[in-house]
Each structure stands twice: as structure tokens, then as C-alpha cells.
Structure 1
């Protein structure tokens, strides 16, 4: 089979899949998160006094998104000699 015949046969399916993907991409939440009706938030962790709110559960811990601790260079500087920077063999 040639490519044109294949597109005629599978074209509507491909268009439907693209339209479905575009529709699903637009389903983002625009209001604050709350538990579903009849559901509750998870229980507090072992030893914790209070139950965290939904927004607190969405915050990333420091280890998941660490801050940069290296100062970026502001201007070009000469590099020190590197004894391991050898040309290829």
C-alpha cells in the first residue's frame, strides 16, 4: 500500500486522537484543590500533631528542589591549568 491510501484509511482516527488529546490538555484545574465529596485528606504522619492541608501536601520538600548553592560567574575568567585535560589519542 502506498502512503496516501494508508492516510485515507487511518486519517479520521488520527484526527480524532489529536482532538481528544487537545481536549484533555485543556482540563486543568482553575480553583483550589479540595478533597472529593465524602473523602478526607490523608491522616497525619506518625508523631505529627495536626493534619496537613491540601496546599501543604503539594509543596516540594527541599531535597526535591534544592536551591542553587553555586555562584554563577559574572564575567569571563582565565581557567586554571587542568592536568587531566589531555588531547584525544
Structure 2
């Protein structure tokens, strides 16, 4: 049992890659998207744009205010 767990851990550790991502030999990157001026690099493709990962627009700890009463917060029947 211990050997199987060790083998599984070694196999999972070998799944990661520490090299930079590149297209396979003889293949090219995808063509530039419609309207783009240049073909994006692999780093450009892996970096999410602000629309995909928006930043926070408020700081909850600095913006503490009393909550107004909630008329729909009723006890169960």
C-alpha cells in the first residue's frame, strides 16, 4: 500500500512542466484574432484580461457603514 502511494506521488509530481510553453515542433501559434494587429504570444494568451479577472472596486474594511434594515428578512413560519 505504501509503495502504491509513493508511486502515485512520483507520477503526479512528474506531470508538471517547468519549461516555457511553446508550440510543438513544426506547428505555429494560432492566427491573430479578427481585428488584432499582431499574433499574440503564449504569455499574452495565458494572461487574463481585466474583463476576465476584474479588480475589486470597493474596500469593505475601510468602507464600514451601518446596514439599513431589511424588510424582507423575516423569521421562518
| TM-score normalised by length of structure 1 | 0.64
Aligned length: 76
Superposition CA RMSD, Å: 2.6
Flag structure 2 segments of 5+ consecutive residues without an equivalent. Answer: none
- Partner of 1:4 in structure 2? none
Moved over 3 A (4+): 74-78
| TM-score normalised by length of structure 2 | 0.71
Distance 1:52 1:76 in 2: 43
1:36-89 CA distances to partner (integer Å, 9 max, x unpaired)?
A: 111111111122221111110111122221111122134865432221111111
